[in-house]
Each structure stands twice: as structure tokens, then as C-alpha cells.
Chain A
Amino acid sequence: MSNLLEKLQKDIRYIDGLKACINCGVCTAICPAAEFNDYDPRQIVDIVQTGDEDYIIDLLKSDTIWYCGECLSCKTRCPRGNTPGYIIQSLRQLSQTEGYFMESERGRQQLEVKRKIGDVMLKYGYCIHVDEIDTIDHPEQGPVWDWFRQNTEAIMQKLGANYKGKGAGTLREISETDLNELCNIFEVTGAMKRFEIIEKQSHDSRR
């Protein structure tokens, strides 16, 4: 058996996601990513079902596994109870732990995701924060967002929020004790190690 397939089969999302695919293609028909990209979840499931090590390596090095939007519409619609979206999650994990994500343009984007979401979580305890989002990176936010950012405290106060305040409430400051617990969880469960892999491999590839 393929070494990589053995690793995939230890991921509960792979186990839960791949039961008995008949390659009917309903997942591709319903998939929002397949509609706008050169992307076919049916084909991905077909490849992993072959168990061929070389095919799986090609998949892990490709842009293909990074197109999925994880809406999980495929889970609702599969007539055999499979979830291609879960299989994608297990492939993305393997691509990162094995270092193959650096071989594709879409895979390399994990560095930006890690810095925009991962670092913000550890800094604020929220996965996004108004103080970190501007209309240069997010022009779709529109002029109302610039106005909100220029007047965040006044608007938050009007809405009854507790912006950067102590205690409970909307967008309160999360205490150091609670942030430490979050960081400790990231440490013991492998998230910190994942972040280090993403940073290190991205750094090394620039040399």
C-alpha cells in the first residue's frame, strides 16, 4: 500500500469522507468551485481511490486541491454518503506535513493565510479583527469601512459594543489568561508546529 495513502487513512476526515465512491460526478455538478475553476472533485476522489503513490504525490503538489471552498455542498448531495470536501481537507493537511504545498502557487498561499488568520487569532483571540483589515487589501469593503475604521470607537459605543474593553461584550479585549490558554492549545495540538512549517518552508524557498 502507498505510504501516503496509509497516512491519509489515519485522518478521520478521509475515513468519514470516502466510503464507496461510484464516480457519478454529482459532487462536481453541485460544486461552486468547479463552476468557476478548472476543478473536478470527482476526479480527485478517483485519484485517491487508485491508491497510486505517484498520482497522490502529483495531487499534493498541484493547485487542484486548493480550489475547494469547503462549503460542503458535496456532503449533502453525494448519493453514497461520501464527502469530497473532507477528503480535500485531509489532502491539504498531508500536502503541508509532507512539504508538497510549496510546489504549487495556490499551496504557497498558505503563508498569507497563516499570517492573516493564524497570527491574528494568537494576537487577539479572534480570527479577524477590525484593526487589521483595510481597504487596500480589501477594496470590496467600500467607503463605509473606511468611515467605520476612522470612527470605530464612537460607532462601537453607539451600538453598545465593548470594543477593546474589559469583561463581556462585542469585540471586547480577550484577557491574557484566555489568550494563553488558546496558545497552549495551539502548542499541544500541533498548530504551532504547522505554523512553523509554513513559515520555514516559505522562507527556505526564497533562498
Chain B
Amino acid sequence: MIQDGKKKVWKDYQKEIAPDNYYYARSCIRQNFFPGSEETFLKIVRLILGKDVYDDPHQTTCTGIAYHSDIIPIETTMTVVARQFSLMNDAGYKNFIASCVTSFGIYSEMLEAWEHFPDTLDDTKQLLKSATSRTFTLPENLVHTSDIIYKFKDEIAEKAKYRLVNKQTGKPLKVVEHIGCHYAKIFPNKGVGGAEFPNVLSGMIETWGGEVVDYPERRHCCGFGFRNYIIKENRGYSLSNSKKKFDSMEPYKPDFIVANCPGCSFFLDRWQYVLAESEGKTYGKNGHGIPVLTFEEMTGLVLGLNPWEMGMQLHQVAVEPLLDTIGIEYKPDDKYKGKNGEYIGTPEKPLILLS
């Protein structure tokens, strides 16, 4: 009886994640700032987990950043979302997976709007028809790509080459997990664990041997803020919010940060660089920063993928201290080599932040 009650209480925090056959909606930010992460995701899900994922050349931006910067009407975003669903229909898929957390929030918001304001669904159908001659049906399952990795975290653990453990001490790594706001804060029932107990990243971390850091500002926004970052004069907002998080997590001495949102991964990496160069403050060990990983990179490292083929040389906070702590085998010189082994030069060193 008590068990039944518990199951009922936690039912709202569960989420249906389709087991296979995914239509992959890419992320503008992830493709530009972490171009190796989406290829890593596809490699893991297709080649290691053996799932079917369709990568569609016809998709475009979901308009999420424009929508949340308020330069376009909601009808535009609704119709672009409808076109993405139409493309999914054309490809013969029913399970839509979004790489971007902002996009995931956008798709969820438009589905909710169509449900609660049915006239807007009729209007969208007409607008899409008139703009593109297209029709569309809704996906049966909509999840974020981190949900897919979460679903198969045990299978990944069985295939893992490394665990999130300090090779020297044998102790679990201390990991800060950052969930993008639009993953579950808008629609808590759309996220694993809801907004209160988001388990999508902590589930991966604990399954793979790590220990999650529960620090005071764990659920605070990274500070993207859309127009508050896009406009240079407003960017202090973004920096200040990230700093608030760094100051809060610092006493716990995290080994690394992982985020499921491409924007958050970027800001938590780059604002450490800015704080080091402008204030001389570093948050990692011995003058380094705290490495910031995308969830695809964390999964790839556990599975033994090459960090330089996943694009980890594009982080401003160097990841080598983390690789060494885990005991990952890698070739330091390959960081600055092209596909055929040719040397392509090195970035300039930051003045303060060790790299």
C-alpha cells in the first residue's frame, strides 16, 4: 500500500522516453559552439546503442533565440515548429528528439498552446499550408537528447571504459550538474524528475560512478537571458548569474561541471575565462578553471571516445586536468592536429587562466 502510494506520488515525475526510431532536431548553438557534441551523440546512439536516428538536412532553426528575444511573433515560431513536425512526418518518424534545451522548451510550449488554445492549431495549419503547402501531424513522443542518454545509462555503464572516479584515490568525482532552465522549469512534467528533482544528469553521473554536488545555487539560471547576452552592453547580467553559481559551488571543489543545455555549457566555460582575465579569479585547482562538459562529451569520455575527436579542444577551460584525474588515455599533441594529423597551430594562451 505504501509502495503504491509512493509510485503514485512519483508518477508525475516520470517521463515516457521512446525506445528507438528518433527524428533528430539539431541545435544552432550546439552546432556552432560544440560542433563535435552532436556528432558524438549520433555516434553513441547509432553505433554503440544500435538505435535508428534520422538526421534531416531540411530542418532549420526553431527560432527559439529570436522568440525569446521578442523580435518575432509567436505565430512565426509556431509555424516553424509545425514545419519541423511536417519534416518528421515526411521522414516517417513519430519520436522527435531535440538537441537544444531552448528548442525543447519551444516545442513543448507550442504543443501546450495548441492543446489549450485549439484555434491556434487551426491557424498554424493554415499558415503553414499557405507558406509551404505543407501539412503536419504532432509527434507521439517529444524528449530532449539528454533524456535518451538517461534512458540508456545502465547499458552505457555496461559498455563503459572509464568511470567517473579519481584514478589515484578511487573516490567518486565530485560533479556539478546544471540543467538548462527550459528543460523542466517551464513544464515540470516534461522533464525526468520534474523541476524539483531533475534526475536526467544526476542519474547518469551516479550510474557511472560520480557523486553529485548539491550546492546552494544548484538550480539558479546560468544567466543566458537571450537579449541580455546578445547585446554587449547587457552581458553583465549573464556574467553575474554565472559568477553567483561559481562562488556557490567553489567550496565543494567540483572536478567538473556538466550541462544538458548547449548555451549553459558555453556560458559556464567562457565566463570562467572572463572572470580569470578580468579579476584574476580561477575556480579550479592550481590556476585552472573547472572543466565544463556537454552531456555528450561526458558520455563519450565514459565510453572511451577520443576527447579531441569530440571537440574538447574548443573549450576555453582546459579539460586535461580532468582527463588525467580519471586516467583517460589521450595524446596531448593531437589536440592541435587536423583530421589527417596535420598541425594546425595553437590558440593564444590566456593571460591568467592556465590552459
A residues within 8 Å of B by Cβ? Answer: 11-13, 15-16, 32-33, 35-37, 66-67, 69-73, 75-76, 89, 92-93, 96, 106, 109-110, 112-114, 116-118, 121, 125-130, 133, 137-148, 150-151, 154-161, 163, 166-172, 174-175, 178-179, 181-182, 184-191, 194-195, 198
Say whether A181 contacts B39, CB under 8 Å. Answer: no
Q: What's the tally of chain B residues with a CB closer than 8 Å to chain A?
A: 94
Interface-centre pick from B31, B75, B105 (highest chain A CB count, 10 A): B31
What residue in chain A is nearest B348 (Cβ atoms)?
A: A143
Given contacts A141-B316, A151-B345, 18 further A-B contacts (CB under 8 A): A33-B228, A67-B228, A69-B226, A71-B224, A109-B231, A127-B28, A127-B65, A128-B28, A147-B348, A155-B35, A157-B338, A160-B39, A161-B35, A161-B36, A166-B57, A167-B57, A188-B79, A189-B79
Question: CA A189 – CA B76 in complex, angstroms?
Answer: 5
Within the complex, what minimum Cβ distance (angstroms) separates B284 from chain A?
Answer: 15
From 67 to 114 in chain B, residues with beta carbon under 8 angstroms from any chain A beta carbon are: 68-76, 78-80, 83, 105, 113
What residue in chain B is nearest A177 (Cβ atoms)?
A: B58
Contacts of B310 in A (CB 8 A): 159
Say whether B128 contacts A185, CB under 8 Å. Answer: yes
A194 in contact with B71 given A16-B116, A69-B228 (CB within 8 Å): yes
The 5 nearest A-B residue pairs measured at CB:
A69-B225, A147-B347, A143-B348, A159-B36, A184-B131
Question: CA A114 – CA B31 in complex, angstroms?
Answer: 21
Contacts of A157 in B (CB 8 A): 338-339
Say whether B226 contacts A70, CB under 8 Å. Answer: yes
Question: CA A33 – CA B220 in complex, angstroms?
Answer: 11
A-B contact pairs, 13 of them (CB 8 A): A36-B236, A69-B221, A72-B185, A116-B230, A117-B66, A121-B63, A128-B65, A129-B32, A143-B347, A145-B316, A167-B57, A175-B57, A189-B75
Contacts of B70 in A (CB 8 A): 89, 92-93, 96, 110
Question: CA A92 – CA B235 in complex, angstroms?
Answer: 20
The residue from B60, B68, B311 contacting A159, defined by CB atoms under 8 A apart: B311
Question: CA A118 – CA B73 in complex, angstroms?
Answer: 12
Say whether A142 contacts B224, CB under 8 Å. Answer: no
Within the complex, what minimum Cβ distance (angstroms) separates A200 from chain B?
Answer: 14
